[in-house]
Structure 1
C-alpha cells in the first residue's frame, strides 16, 4: 500500500513508530505491532534511532509486511554513502516496501558507538533527490537501471514548533522541490504553534502528519525541553503530569494530553504519526479518545 495514494484520496493517515531491538529476535515487536497497532494505517520502523546500533530497519519492515502490516522504511544518511543508500532503496523496492521516511540522522556521538565514523555523504534533501532519480530510471551517477524503476511514497520530516519557523519552512520547501510527497512532524505539544506553521506550510500543497508523543512523566517532559530541538512541553502540561502521580504513571494523563492535542490540530493536518516510545499498548486508547 502506497500511502501517497491514500493522501490523494483524502484519507486521514495514522502511523505509529516501532524501534527494532538490539538483537535478532523480534517476536515481541511483531506481536505488539499486531495487537496494538492494527488500528493504524502504517508502521514506521526506525533506522538505528539516536545512533544506537540495532537490528536493521529494512529487515524489520520485511517481517512486518509478511505479517500483514504496512511498513514505512526509515532511512538515514548517517551510516551509508550514496552507493549503499541507493542499493538499500532498490532492495526495499524488490521486497515490495513502498513507503519511505528519509532523514539525515543523528550524529554518531549521540549513540552507543561514539567512536564510529559518521558518513553523511548525502543529507535528507539530496537523499530525497536520489530516490526521485531512481524513480526516473537512473542512479545518481546517471546510469540507467535495469527493468521497471521503483516507485515510492517519499516522506520527510519538519519541526513546526521550532524557534526558527522561517528556517523550517525553507527546509520544507527544499524537500518539496527535491521530490518529497508527504511530511511527518517532530512531536507537537504546542497546538497554537503547529496551527500557525500549517497556515504558512499549506502553500506547498503537501500532506502533513502531526507528530505525537504520549508524555510519560514530568522527567521526560523536562528532558525533552532541555535536549530535543524543536520540542517544548508547556508548563501547564507539566503541571497536569504532576497533579496525579498514579494517573501519570498509568499513562492516563499522557493519553489525555495527547488526545487533546490531536483534536485541536486535526483540522489543520492530513494525518498523525505516533511515537509511542515503548507505550504501544496505549495507542488504541489514544486513537479512541482522539475520535480516530
Structure 2
C-alpha cells in the first residue's frame, strides 16, 4: 500500500519513525514496533540517522514488511553516489517497498565516524528527480531499464518553523517540481508558525504531515534549540517540563505537550509524523490524547 493512496482518500495519515539497531539483532525492535506502532499507518525507517552507523534502512524495511507493517524507506545522499542510490531504489521496488522519503542527510562530521568521507553526489531534490526518472524507465545516465519500471510514493522534508520561511517554500517548490508527492516536516513546537507556513504551502497542493517529537526533558529542548536547525522550543514549554520533574521523567508531560501540538495543527495538515527517539512505548498514549487512536 502506498501512502499517497490514503492521502488521496482523504485520510489523516499517521506515521512514526524507528531507528535500526547498531548491530544485526533486530527481533526486539520488530516486536516493539508491532506492539507500540499498531495504531499508525506507516513506519519510517531512518538511514544511519545523525550520521551514526547502524543496520541498513532497506534491510530493516524488508523485515518490518514481512512482519506485517508498512515501511517507508528513508534514503539519504550522504553515503552513496548516484549509482548506489538508484540501485537501492530499484532494490526497494523489487522487494515491494514503494514508499520512500528522500533526504540529503547530516554531514559525517556530526556522527560516530567523523573521519568518514561524505559523498553528496546528489541532494534531496536530485534524488527525487532520479526516482521520478526511474518511474519512466530511464536512469540518470539516460539508459533504459529492463522490463516494467518501478512506481514509488515519493516523500520529502520541509522545515516550516525555520527562520527563513521563504527559503523553505522555494525548496518545497523545487521538490514538488522534482516529483515529491507528500511532505513530512521537521519537528514543530510552535503551532502558530506551522499554521502560518501551511497557509502559504497549500499553493503546492501536496499533503503535509506535521512532525512531532515527544520532548523528554528541559535539557533535551535546550540542546535542540542550540543544535537542530529549523527547530525552536519556546521557553514556556521548557518551563512546563521543569515544573514536575517526576512527571516529565515518566514521559507524561512530554506526551501532553506533543498531543496538544497535534490537536492545534491537525486542522491545517493532512497527517502527523512522530519521531519518538526511543520512546515508541509512549506513542499509544500520544495517539489517544491527540484524538487519533
Superposition TM-score, scaled by structure 1 size: 1.00
How far apart in 2 are the matches of 1:282 and 1:111? 26
**Superposed displacement of residue 240, structure 1:** 0.5
**Superposed displacement of residue 112, structure 1:** 0.6
Q: Does 1:171 pair with 2:171? A: yes
How far apart in 1 are the matches of 2:99 and 2:130? 15
Tell me the secondary structure at the aligned position of residue 43 of structure 1: strand
How far apart in 2 are the matches of 1:19 and 1:248? 23
Deviations 1:4-23 (CA, angstroms, capped at 9, x unpaired): 11111111110000000110
Equivalent position of 1:96 in the other structure: 96
For residues 233-244 of structure 1, the aligned pairs below 5 Å read 233-244=233-244
How far apart in 2 are the matches of 1:271 and 1:220? 25
Equivalent position of 2:75 in the other structure: 75
Equivalent position of 2:31 in the other structure: 31
How far apart in 2 are the matches of 1:206 and 1:152? 15
Tell me the secondary structure at the aligned position of residue 224 of structure 1: helix
Name the Cα RMSD after superposition.
0.4
How far apart in 1 are the matches of 2:80 and 2:116? 12
Equivalent position of 1:135 in the other structure: 135
How far apart in 1 are the matches of 2:78 and 2:224? 22
How far apart in 2 are the matches of 1:13 and 1:52? 29
Equivalent position of 1:196 in the other structure: 196
How far apart in 1 are the matches of 2:50 and 2:238? 25
Equivalent position of 2:66 in the other structure: 66
Structure 2: stretches of 5+ with no match in the other structure: none
**Superposed displacement of residue 79, structure 1:** 0.4
**Superposed displacement of residue 156, structure 1:** 0.1
**Superposed displacement of residue 99, structure 1:** 0.3
Tell me the secondary structure at the aligned position of residue 118 of structure 1: coil
How far apart in 1 are the matches of 2:7 and 2:182? 8
Equivalent position of 1:53 in the other structure: 53
Equivalent position of 1:110 in the other structure: 110
How far apart in 1 are the matches of 2:142 and 2:162? 37
**Superposed displacement of residue 276, structure 1:** 0.3
Deviations 1:154-197 (CA, angstroms, capped at 9, x unpaired): 00000000000000000000000000000000000000000000
**Superposed displacement of residue 222, structure 1:** 0.4
Superposition TM-score, scaled by structure 2 size: 0.99
Structure 1: stretches of 5+ with no match in the other structure: none
Equivalent position of 2:183 in the other structure: 183
